[in-house]
Amino acid sequence: MPVFSTITINFSDAFEPNTATPLIFINAFDAIQNAGLSVVVERIVATRTQFGEFSTGTDDVTQAVLYKDALDLDLDPLEYEVSIIGNNVTIGSLRQEISFTDLVIGQPNTSRATFVINNDAINIPRTEGIIPARSNYYVTRPIVDPNVVSQTVKMWFNSDLIDPDYQQRTPDYQSTQLRPSANWENFDLAITQYARDFINPKLPTFTAGIVDSVAGSVITSSISVRNNLEAIDQPILNQAVTTLGYATYQQGATPKYSQLILLSSQRHQVKRGELIIVPVNTNAVTTSIVFTNPAGDFLGLYTLIASGDITKQIQYVCFSTAGLTDDFVEVNGTHIFELIDECLYETQPVRFLNRYGVWENLTFFKAEKESLQVTREGNFKNNYVNGGTYDTTRHLYRNTDTNARRSLQLTTGYISEQQNAAIDDLLLSDYVYLENGEPMEVDTNSVDKKTRIVDKLINYEIAFKYSSDLVQVV
């Protein structure tokens, strides 16, 4: 079997048994678990009688032989390989994600052995889940050796293709962290502050069928670390899908999302004839989205094929409701879309970037009201006397830099209590568009959350502003 990281111990003398600290530790780091681990702890005794002990020798060579004999018995042969040449014992990891960090020998045997670590470059599996980059996601690595004083973090962000050889490229960012004090136990770095520089959400053109994310709306993040004792970079994240979503305080310092359908709630409404838009987390896995009516009758099937294209890591299944007579459409048996027949008001679908960093639709069914807010920088006297007269058709006072912002107030109509989550995400979104692609800003700063028990019928009015001036002054 291939051997990856190794630690070679060079014995220079026999060990003394039964001392105050008769132990020898080998420590390592597991890149998949992102945690330190103790590989093996052996107690120095005159003669081994049980697991976790090794006998003292008469010189450096016999000590190496007896230590190897103990490791052969105590280490899992499917995870570690032990070899010996003279007074050198080498332990090799058969697990690619394991990198050795240090060897600790108790007094008075500390000076009777030295060690050399050779950690090969590690290729860990692709990181699963979606990292929401509006919130801080921390890469953490424990400090298990008192001689570790710094750590270098390399970061790669990509928006086109999954690249297994990303480590061969120059990193997009590199950061060196210094250990502030000897009692500092971990290196922590919020890597999403760097990822945000590479994410540029764009609204796709939604048409019936499968629609990819627009390039730059979704990226991958790859992170490796190396402390001052290591010769090789150790990967922590391997091409993790990253969006401009957010996490809550309760989700902690390493938030990720893993669900298939990336909608804020399981109940939704669309106007009959409109598209049902379902954002799907494919993450290089072939999957299917099935549409049925409440009776379970098949309406449509879409298969999303695994791809190395980053724009296909999150795709949108767009299902046309034109011609349907059912009142509800179910998606994969978990999400329900109610089809609304609205004849009086002009409905207004609003697209916004939700907590998962993907586009979600919320249709406002009832009354809308548009208003105009005009701003003026001031006025000034704008006439003068020439030859004993002045032009009476000329403004004596004239406004300057007059402009305006349009506002739009939309009403949801009656919605399910579950859709409160969509209202939350809309209010928290930095990217909001009307169906026609016109960018908007949410102008409502607070809402009273409504429930069926207290309010019976749930209805919201949300204020928006068009995100541009009426007079173009760019």
pLDDT exceeds cutoff 90 at 5: no
Average pLDDT over residues 123-151: 91
Q: Taking residues 112-134, what's their average pLDDT?
A: 86
pLDDT in tens, 324-343: 999 999 999 999 999 999 88
Task: Give pLDDT tens digits for 178-202.
Answer: 999 999 999 999 999 999 999 999 9
- For the beta sheet containing 298-304, the strands, ordered from the edge strand earlier in sequence to the opposite edge, are 267-271, 335-340, 328-331, 287-292, 298-304
Q: Strand pairing partners for 371?
A: 407
For the ranges 18-27, 108-117, 127-136, 307-316, the lowest mean pLDDT is seen at 18-27
Residue 63 has pLDDT above 90, yes or no: yes
Single-letter code of the amino acid located at 305: I
pLDDT score, position 95: 87
In residues, how long is the chain? 474
| Per-residue pLDDT reduced to its tens digit, 375-410 | 888 777 777 788 889 888 888 888 888 899 999 999
Range with lowest mean pLDDT among 77-81, 145-149, 237-241: 145-149
Banded pLDDT at 81 (limits 50, 70, 90): very high
* CATH architecture of residue range(s) 130-251: Sandwich (2.60)
Residue 26 has pLDDT above 90, yes or no: yes
- Residues of the chain with pLDDT > 70, as a percent, come to 98
Mean pLDDT for 60-76 is: 95
Query: Residue range 316-322: average pLDDT?
Result: 97
Is pLDDT of 19 > 90? no
**Cα separation of 287 and 419, whole Å?**
26
How far is residue 328's CA from residue 201's CA, in Å, rounded to a whole number? 31
Closest CA to 257 of 130, 111, 125: 130
Mean pLDDT of the chain: 92
- Pick the range with the lowest mean pLDDT from 264-268, 344-348, 441-445: 344-348
Cα–Cα distance, 220 to 185 (Å, whole number): 29
pLDDT value, residue 167: 82
Q: What is the pLDDT of residues 288-305, one digit of tens each?
A: 999 999 999 999 999 999
pLDDT of amino acid 1: 67
Average pLDDT of span 44-72: 94
Instruction: Output the pLDDT for position 401.
Output: 85
Lowest mean pLDDT, pick from 174-188, 223-237, 311-325, 453-467: 223-237
Residue 122 has pLDDT above 70, yes or no: no
The HSE-up count of residue 88 (CA atoms within 13 Å, CB side) is 9
Q: Is the pLDDT of residue 174 over 90?
A: yes
Reported pTM: 0.76
State the pLDDT at residue 120: 67
For residue range 349-371, list pLDDT tens digits in order: 999 999 999 999 999 999 999 99
How many CB atoms are located within 10 Å of the residue 323 CB? Answer: 7
End-to-end CA distance of the chain: 64
